[in-house]
Amino acid sequence: MLCFVLWLIAFSASAQRSPFNNLEVLPTDSNGHYRILIGGHFHGASSNRSGYPAATILANLDTINQLGADIFLSTGDLFMDAEKDRPRYERAFFSKLTVPFFNAPGNHDGAGSAAGDEDLRLPSWQQRISAPVDPGPSLSSSMEVVGPHLLLLNTERREGNSDEDRLGILEGIRGAVDLYYRQTKARQVVFIISHRPIWAEDDPRYSDLFKDNTRSLTGTNFKKDVYPILQEIAKHAQVFWISGSLGGGAPSSIFFQQHAPNITFIQCAIRDEPRDALMIADVYPDSVHWSAFSLTGQKLLPPQSFDAAWWRSQRGKGEGFNWRLLPYLTKMTVTSRAFWWGVAATLLLVWLVRRLLRR
């Protein structure tokens, strides 16, 4: 009974609630199973000005609630305009969602919004161990983590560069993973969620696949400072880094690539299109099972199928043009301010060239 009370106090102190629907993050079940639902870019298409989430998300709310997820993680760009859209999201989405919901801020979510400015390490499920070994700055030396590690990063800060605070959190996870392995000889699972795929920017294996994504102007310190820590963590854990900046021309809502032993890079984001899908991670004590949930009823391949080779094979294979949409597309074009700014700029350029040629 005393051990149970100590565990309850420890968990109560670390339990967190969603800043969006105020639901509490609960620990794993008695079998160590934990289900994570993952998606991003929930404002849908860049042309969506309704102030509501994408139609594909709203149409599937009942099903999402019935998936049995323990937590719902967003890979950023939750809102089109965080300040203006929040009331509509609360009424149509957050209030109806029965899963604790968290967001890794994207470029549309805005600094100071409820998305949060700082990196967020979600609760670790802890139990006492006998040997007090220092696991890092973010954990007590007399505790160990027994659930999956969940870390949400704000990659809009410092143009995606990782500062000392972020590196300290990663070092803390590394220490906890090492400690757990020394005590149990078992591997853990680490999920890192970010909007920007900072792992792709300076890597020729991926950089050409995500050209239209949000990225830093001068590069990041991912390769120099972050990746070496990931390699250390991966010695005794499976690491899944999941991002959500996917351009509108992406061939799939999912990108899934094993980058190195125990390190997998993933992207997952929707656009209010037929391809829209969420990912499900079923975490067990010794493994992770991945599956995909189509928001439009399509039959999907396993997530692991959507690797870099598959993405490259889809280049130039967009959906055929629907001529019936021509009147609508024409109207959308001529009523866009960007179109008329382009017309004005073109006319000005033509006028200047003609003036120069007449001299």
State which H helix or E strand residue 291 sits in: strand 287-294
Q: What is the pLDDT of residue 356?
A: 84
Model confidence band, residue 6 (pLDDT cutoffs 50, 70, 90): very low
Contact between 274 and 318 (Cβ < 8 Å): no
Q: Whole-angstrom Cα distance, residue 296 to residue 222?
A: 35
On the question of pLDDT at 56 being above 90, the answer is yes
| Segments in the chain forming alpha helices (H) | 2-14, 55-58, 61-65, 82-92, 164-184, 227-233, 308-313, 326-334, 337-358
- How large is the average pLDDT for residues 10-14? 43
Model confidence band, residue 23 (pLDDT cutoffs 50, 70, 90): very high
147 and 62 share one domain: yes
Q: Is residue 321 part of a domain?
A: no
351 and 283 share one domain: no
Please report, for the domain that includes residue 184, its CATH number.
3.60.21.10
Q: Which tokens in the block code for residue 29?
A: 């079940």
Number of domains in the chain: 2
Q: Is residue 319 part of a domain?
A: no
- pTM score, two decimals? 0.81
40 and 78 share one domain: yes
Range with lowest mean pLDDT among 9-13, 186-190, 325-329: 9-13
Model confidence band, residue 159 (pLDDT cutoffs 50, 70, 90): confident
Query: Highest-confidence range of 10-19, 141-150, 211-220, by mean pLDDT?
Result: 211-220
Q: What is the pLDDT of residue 317?
A: 58
Q: What is the pLDDT of residue 135?
A: 43
- How large is the average pLDDT for residues 209-236? 88
Report helix, strand and coil shares of the chain as percent, to nearest 5: 30, 20, 50
Q: Which tokens in the block code for residue 11?
A: 């968990």
On the question of pLDDT at 59 being above 80, the answer is yes
187 and 253 share one domain: yes
Q: What is the pLDDT of residue 334?
A: 79
308 and 332 share one domain: no
Q: Which tokens in the block code for residue 247?
A: 């351009």
Q: What is the pLDDT of residue 247?
A: 76
On the question of pLDDT at 189 being above 60, the answer is yes
282 and 346 share one domain: no
Q: Whole-angstrom Cα distance, residue 88 to residue 54?
A: 12
Q: Is residue 44 part of a domain?
A: yes
80 and 43 share one domain: yes
Q: Which tokens in the block code for residue 204?
A: 């020729």
347 and 242 share one domain: no
Q: Is residue 123 part of a domain?
A: yes
Q: What is the pLDDT of residue 278?
A: 98
Residue with tokens 């999941």, as numbered in its chain: 242
238 and 340 share one domain: no
Range with lowest mean pLDDT among 164-168, 287-291, 320-324: 320-324
Q: Whole-angstrom Cα distance, residue 252 to residue 258?
A: 17
Model confidence band, residue 85 (pLDDT cutoffs 50, 70, 90): very high
Q: Is residue 242 part of a domain?
A: yes
Q: Is residue 352 part of a domain?
A: yes
- Three-class SS of residue 308? helix
- The set of residues, in sequence order, having a beta carbon less than 8 Å from that of 244 and lying 6+ positions away, is 39, 40, 41, 74, 75, 76, 77, 104, 106, 194, 195, 267, 268, 269
> What is the torsional sign of CA 177, 180, 182, 187?
negative
On the question of pLDDT at 326 being above 80, the answer is no
155 and 304 share one domain: yes
* Burial degree of 350 (CB within 10 A; 0-12, 13-18, 19+): exposed
Model confidence band, residue 125 (pLDDT cutoffs 50, 70, 90): low
Per-residue pLDDT tens digits for 245-256: 987 678 999 999
295 and 338 share one domain: no
Q: Is residue 320 part of a domain?
A: no
* Burial degree of 116 (CB within 10 A; 0-12, 13-18, 19+): middle
Q: What is the pLDDT of residue 146?
A: 61
Strands in 263-268's sheet, in edge-to-edge order, are 120-121, 149-152, 188-193, 237-243, 263-268, 254-260
The rounded Cα 225 to chain-centroid distance in angstroms is 21
Q: Is residue 323 part of a domain?
A: no
The separation between the first and the last C-alpha atoms of the chain, rounded to the nearest angstrom, is 95
Q: Give the rounded percent of residues in the chain with a pLDDT score beyond 70.
A: 82
- How large is the average pLDDT for residues 334-355? 85
- How large is the average pLDDT for residues 319-347? 72
On the question of pLDDT at 235 being above 60, the answer is yes
Range of the domain at 349: 328-358
246 and 338 share one domain: no
